[in-house]
C-alpha cells in the first residue's frame, strides 16, 4: 500500500496541536494503560493499520502484556480485563460505533463508566476515543501504512 500523501511535515502546526491534545489526555488522570487500550480498540474497530501498529507499540511501552493485547478484540469474554477497563472499552466501542444505532452511548454504558472514573477521567477517555477516531479516518483515507510515524 502506498500512502496518498508523502510529506506529512508540510503542516508542522498540526503536529504541535496534536501534541497538545495528547499532553492533555495523558495528564487527565485516567490510567495510562486504559488510555492505550481505548486507543487500540477504537483503531481495531476502524481498521486503521497505522494506528493499530502504533497502539500496540505504545501499549507495550505502557506495560500491557502480550496476553492482554492479543485478547483485546474479544475483551468482553476475556479474563484479562478488570471491571474499570471493561467499562472504558464498552464506552469506546459505543462512541466509535455511533452510526450503528441511535443513542449508541446508552445511559447504562455511561453509568458503568462513571462508576469507575471521575468526571475528569471520563472527559479524557472520551477525548482519547474522539482523537483516535479522528486519526483513524485520516490515516485510512490517506492510506497511511503501518509503521509510519509523524514526529
pLDDT, average across residues 46-66: 95
pLDDT, average across residues 73-99: 96
Per-residue confidence (pLDDT) for residue 7, from 0 to 100? 61
**CB-based contacts of 30-35 (< 8 A; 24+ apart in sequence):** 30/88, 30/117, 30/121, 30/124, 30/125, 30/128, 31/84, 32/62, 33/59, 33/62, 33/63, 33/64, 33/85, 34/84, 34/85, 34/88, 34/125, 35/124, 35/125, 35/128
Q: How many domains does the chain have?
A: 1
Q: What is the CATH number of the domain that holds 126?
A: 1.20.1290.10
Inter-residue contact 44 to 52 (CB < 8 Å)? yes
Per-residue confidence (pLDDT) for residue 17, from 0 to 100? 82
Top-confidence range, 20-24, 65-69, 133-137 = 65-69
Per-residue confidence (pLDDT) for residue 10, from 0 to 100? 53
pLDDT, average across residues 132-139: 91
In a domain, 25, yes or no: no
C-alpha cell at 55: 497502539
In a domain, 8, yes or no: no
In a domain, 23, yes or no: no
Mean pLDDT score of the chain, rounded to an integer?
90
Per-residue confidence (pLDDT) for residue 133, from 0 to 100? 95
Per-residue confidence (pLDDT) for residue 100, from 0 to 100? 84
Per-residue confidence (pLDDT) for residue 103, from 0 to 100? 87
C-alpha cell at 11: 503542516
> Poorest-confidence range of 11-20, 31-40, 88-97, 135-144?
11-20
In a domain, 42, yes or no: yes
Task: Give me the domain span that covers residue 135.
Answer: 31-141
Per-residue confidence (pLDDT) for residue 142, from 0 to 100? 82
Neighbour-count burial for 31-70, b at 16+ CB within 10 Å, e otherwise = beebbbbbbbbbbbbbebbbbbbbbbeebeeeebeeebbe
In a domain, 26, yes or no: no
In a domain, 41, yes or no: yes
Amino acid at each position: 500500500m502506498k500512502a496518498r500523501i508523502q510529506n506529512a511535515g508540510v503542516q508542522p502546526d498540526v503536529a504541535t496541536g496534536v501534541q497538545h491534545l495528547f499532553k492533555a489526555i495523558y495528564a487527565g488522570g485516567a490510567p495510562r494503560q486504559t488510555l492505550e487500550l481505548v486507543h487500540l480498540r477504537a483503531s481495531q474497530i476502524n481498521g486503521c493499520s497505522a494506528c493499530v501498529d502504533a497502539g500496540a507499540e505504545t501499549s507495550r511501552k505502557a506495560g500491557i502484556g502480550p496476553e492482554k493485547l492479543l485478547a483485546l478484540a474479544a475483551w468482553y469474554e476475556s479474563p484479562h480485563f478488570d471491571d474499570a477497563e471493561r467499562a472504558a472499552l464498552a464506552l469506546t466501542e459505543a462512541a466509535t460505533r455511533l452510526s450503528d444505532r441511535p443513542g449508541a452511548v446508552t445511559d447504562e454504558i455511561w453509568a458503568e463508566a462513571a462508576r469507575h472514573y471521575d468526571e475528569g477521567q471520563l472527559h479524557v477517555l472520551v477525548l482519547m476515543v474522539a482523537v483516535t477516531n479522528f486519526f483513524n479516518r485520516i490515516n485510512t483515507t490517506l492510506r497511511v501504512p503501518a509503521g509510519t510515524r509523524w514526529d
